[in-house]
Amino acid sequence: MQSTIAPGLDLERFLKEVIAPQAITLDHDPSALCQAFRWLGDQQLLGVMAPRSWGGEAWEH
């Protein structure tokens, strides 16, 4: 998965247009699913964001 989210791109739209069409592949191919989760993690879209004072990497929003 080489896609990147451009600044200002709507995440919901991205998931519907890019990720959803790959649903069957993601359901049946563990390596594709792993790659998708890795990409989501690289985009900081997984996990709980916590401030540095709590041991997290902080957030900008």
In the chain, domain spans:
11-54
Q: What is the pTM of this model?
A: 0.57
Q: Token digits for 27?
A: 């359901």
Q: Which of 38, 40, 3 is nearest to 18 (CA)?
A: 3
Cα dihedral sign for 46, 50, 56, 61?
Answer: positive
List alpha helices for 1-61, DSSP H.
11-14, 23-28, 30-42
Q: Can you give the pLDDT of all 61 residues of the chain as single tens digits?
A: 555 555 566 778 878 988 899 999 999 999 999 998 888 888 777 877 777 888 777 665 5
